[in-house]
């Protein structure tokens, strides 16, 4: 890695840690690269697709002229693994907020779970979570939600290419999903719970792939710092 290559453009694969925001990860790399290469103040750097603080995994960071590739990378298929907990929901559809309702789970069997998965393969209608960064009336949805304001959210078309259940230990259900841009796995968890005639929320989420890029080739922000400055 050289100053010239960074300015010309690089794609850097980062394994985002739990609780870090995507913005924090970008800022860490920006700090490290500026410190090592004495880059100009207006040096270009950005990420190709946000990961929530409670998610881990692949964050693609582009530098220099490669920031123009961000839109193209964001449009590619994404793969996630994680865990749903059935029998309860939260307003944010994940662990950001407390459980607000509980539901029966005695009727949920392995066979029912596997049959329910089939309903979500292909193009589906999905409503984004109220706790999301999508803008409505000039404000982020999560700003409306935290202010206690009710907002009408329209469903969007999204595509689930693959949906595999990898472990069932009720109330926990582990999964692997390959999906199109704009898919909310939190919403998938919520809708999956409804389809089971129960409830569900997301407790673990890890992004493993974006297109041909894999988290197996990524490093943590702290490992990147250590490698770059040592």
Catalytic amino acids? 52
Q: Length of the chain, please?
A: 230
User: Rounded CA gap, 102 and 87, in Å?
Assistant: 6
Cα 67 from chain centre: 20
Question: Six-digit token pair at 64?
Answer: 């220099």
Sequence-separated (6 or more) residues with CB below 8 Å from residue 180: 77, 78, 158, 159, 160, 161
């Amino acid at each position: 890695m050289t100053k010239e290559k960074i300015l010309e453009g690089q794609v850097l694969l980062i394994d985002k840690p739990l609780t870090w925001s995507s913005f924090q990860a970008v800022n860490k790399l920006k700090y490290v690269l500026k410190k090592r290469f004495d880059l100009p103040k207006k040096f270009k750097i950005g990420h190709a697709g946000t990961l929530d603080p409670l998610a881990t995994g692949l964050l693609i960071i582009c530098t220099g002229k490669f920031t123009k590739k961000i839109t193209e990378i964001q449009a590619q298929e994404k793969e996630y693994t994680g865990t749903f907990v059935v029998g309860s929901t939260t307003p944010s559809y994940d662990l950001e907020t407390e459980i607000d309702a509980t539901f029966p789970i005695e009727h949920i069997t392995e066979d029912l779970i596997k049959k329910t998965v089939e309903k979500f393969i292909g193009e589906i209608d999905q409503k984004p979570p109220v706790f999301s960064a999508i803008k409505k009336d000039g404000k982020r949805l999560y700003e409306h939600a935290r202010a206690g304001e009710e907002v009408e959210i329209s469903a969007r078309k999204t595509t689930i290419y693959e949906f595999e259940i990898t472990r069932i230990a009720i109330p926990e259900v582990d999964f692997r999903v390959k999906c199109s841009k704009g898919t909310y796995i939190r919403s998938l968890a919520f809708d999956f719970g409804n389809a089971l005639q129960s409830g569900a929320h997301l407790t673990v989420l890890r992004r493993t792939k974006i297109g041909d890029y894999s988290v197996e080739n990524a490093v943590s922000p702290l490992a990147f710092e250590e490698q770059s400055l040592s």
